Chain A
């Protein structure tokens, strides 16, 4: 569990509407109130298309709430910033840069001197287990390795909060399990506040300190679970399976 109970991010009555060309205004998020504690691993879990990514995009500052506000570290979010790092589902690596070039990109934009940022980037490349691939271009890497670069890149900028938008959604099942273990290990080695979006219930229970189950659009929090299982967790542990069943019964099932 998170040792520190300080609130890092707070949603205050957040609404988000999109103007859909055919259907008019479409409400994706309705009166959302969430508190995210420092250094906790929070999983936002909900059915597909329920607005999970919209919530992350609003924290990142890519999209603005229609009403209400989001407070991060005492300040209202009004644009993207280096204190909020994002790991994207399709990795969004820069194909024209090497692994090193991608990972050191953040510090470079912050004006960190070459020697210092190389040292820092190397640390995170080692942490995600990609030593030896520093000079490879992303196109030469497998999906799992690309996502490791994405995680290292977000970490290297030393953000207050890491936002992960279904980062393992495109990976095959085997790689997905492996990456879940890796993420747990990395997070335990370098504690950060993590907000992780997924539509995979097993992944949610495996990773989270706390799970917020979201309902369909307009989305809001339907249920909340504290997961107190020790790490590393076991998918076949009776308590794990019980939690899984319990959460599964709460979720809106849609096609």
Chain B
């Protein structure tokens, strides 16, 4: 089945690459090509590429190289994300499995989930100051929310008939959870991991815009202040590519762990 899809995937890839190329070409056309925009309003793709390469070694104008910014952002995002997963997945599972846990946690959770992650920034800065902790906590909250929601509905979607099968085999309540409900919820849990990664990464950049001394968001914010739109765009591109890579890693892991696909 995989091989058959291979040919279609190649075609799909070709079209995607083509559309990106067309986009870049139009961008070049309106800047360097026809000169519709001056380079301090919209820098050309060539200029952005030059800045991108230069920024790997140059700390100017914001005090750190691109790699240092990227690593700072990754450290915060992955830290908050991992703790979010470690707390969010079990919380979602137990909320779905046990009515008492659900009743206890649900009201608080329903209130928290409606607050955009960034809104926590000011609170966190007041609590723990500008630094790693405040940002990691903001990421933690937004990642955890996505994780709870997805593992919760994954467990809730366990088929009754599968639980019955477990029961006719004499499975204990713990067996039913660990050997029926959780395996059947795994696809949803991995969806949660993917969604949470997306919200962690976007929240991070927003948090860095407000409270930071290093990181991609900080770099963008500084560049904006001195009208260096080329650096802003470099920041945006790096954020996009890093996000896509991280997401594809999660999906690869998911494909490895989630076996057997779905039966009708």
B48 at the interface (CB under 8 A from A): no
Query: Is B263 within 8 A of A106, CB to CB?
Result: no
CB-based contact A139/B261 at 8 Å:
yes
The 7 closest A-B pairs by CB, nearest first: A80-B167, A137-B260, A82-B170, A106-B169, A109-B169, A92-B161, A139-B261
Chain B residues lying within 8 Å of A139, measured Cβ to Cβ, are 260-263
- Please give, as numbers and ranges, the residues of chain B lying within 8 Å of A86 by CB-CB distance: 164-165, 168
- Is B175 engaged at the interface, CB distance under 8 Å to the other chain? yes
A62 and chain B: residue at smallest CB distance: B164
Which single residue of chain B is at the shortest CB-CB distance from A111? B170
Among the 9-residue stretches B26-34, B178-186, B199-207, B212-220, the one with 4 or more Cβ atoms under 8 Å from chain A is: B178-186
Interchain CB contact under 8 A, A94 and B169: no
A146→B263 CA distance, assembly (Å): 10
B residues 233-264 near A (Cβ < 8 Å) are 258-264
A153 vs B26: C-alpha distance in the bound complex, in angstroms? Answer: 61
A110 touches B169 (CB 8 A): yes
Beyond the given A92-B161, A105-B169, please list 13 additional residue pairs across the A-B interface where CB-CB is below 8 A: A60-B164, A79-B167, A80-B167, A82-B168, A86-B165, A90-B161, A94-B184, A96-B258, A96-B259, A97-B260, A109-B171, A138-B263, A139-B262
Q: Which residues of B contact A45 (CB under 8 A)?
A: none
A195 to B228, CA, bound (A): 78
Residue of B nearest to A60 (CB): B168
Whether B131 sits at the interface, judged by CB under 8 Å, is no
A220 within 8 A of B: no
* Contact A94 B180, beta carbon cutoff 8 Å: yes
Interface string of A72-104 (1 = CB under 8 A from B): 000000011110111010111111111000000
- For B170, list chain A residues within 8 Å (CB): 81-82, 106, 109-110
Min CB distance A39 to B, Å, is 20
What residue of chain B has the Cβ atom nearest to residue A138's Cβ?
B263
The answer to the question of A219 belonging to the interface, with a C-beta cut-off of 8 Å to chain B, is no
CB contacts (< 8 Å) of A157 on chain B: these are 168-169
Q: Which residues of A contact B262 (CB under 8 A)?
A: 95, 139
A70 to chain B, nearest CB (A): 15
| Cα-based distance from A34 to B216 in the complex (angstroms) | 74
Q: List 25 A-B contacts (CB under 8 A).
A: A60-B168, A61-B167, A81-B167, A82-B169, A85-B168, A86-B164, A86-B165, A90-B264, A93-B263, A94-B162, A94-B180, A94-B183, A94-B184, A94-B260, A95-B263, A96-B183, A109-B169, A109-B170, A109-B175, A137-B261, A138-B263, A139-B261, A139-B263, A146-B263, A159-B168
Whether B54 sits at the interface, judged by CB under 8 Å, is no
* Any A CB within 8 A of the CB of B79: no
Residues of chain B contacted by A110 (CB below 8 angstroms)? 169-170
Interface-central residue, B162, B165, B179, B262, by most chain A CB under 10 Å = B165
Question: Which one of A92, A98, A146 has the highest number of Cβ atoms from chain B below 10 Å of its Cβ?
Answer: A92
Contact with B along A141-180 (1 / 0, CB 8 A): 0000010000000000101000000000000000000000
With the chains together, A93 CA to B260 CA distance in Å? 11
B161-A137 in contact (CB<8A)? no
Contacting residues, chain A, for B264 (C-beta < 8 A): 90
Tell me how many residues of A have a C-beta within 8 Å of chain B: 30
CA distance A165 to B79 in the complex (A): 51
A137 and B169 contact, CB distance less than 8 A: no
Give bound CA distance, A137 to B263, whole Å.
Answer: 10
Complex Cα gap A91–B164 (Å): 12
Contacts of B100 in A (CB 8 A): none
Q: Which residue in chain B gives the minimum CB-CB distance to A107?
A: B169
B159 within 8 A of partner (CB) = yes
**Chain A residues, CB < 8 A from B169:** 82, 105-106, 109-110, 157
Determine the residue in chain A with the shortest Cβ distance to B1.
Answer: A140
* Complex contact A137–B259 (CB within 8 A): yes
In the bound complex, CA of A20 to CA of B164 (Å): 22
Whole-angstrom distance from the CB of A32 to the nearest CB of chain B? 21
> Complex: how many Å from CA A80 to CA B171?
10
Contacts of B186 in A (CB 8 A): 96
- B43 nearest CB across to chain A (Å): 50
- Tell me the nearest residue of chain A to B258, going by C-beta: A96
CA–CA, A146 and B262, complex, Å: 13
Of the candidates B162, B166, B260, the one whose C-beta lies within 8 Å of that of A109 is: B166
Residue of B whose beta carbon sits closest to that of A156:
B169
Instruction: Give the complex CA separation of A88 and B166 in angstroms.
Output: 13
Give chain A nearest CB distance to B154 CB in angstroms.
12
In angstroms, Cα B183 to Cα A96, docked, is: 7
CB distance from A148 to the nearest CB of B (A): 15
A252 to B61, CA, bound (A): 87
Residues of B near A95 (CB, < 8 A) are 184, 260-263
Query: CB-CB < 8 A to A82: which residues of B?
Result: 168-170
Distance A90 CA – B167 CA, assembled complex (angstroms): 17
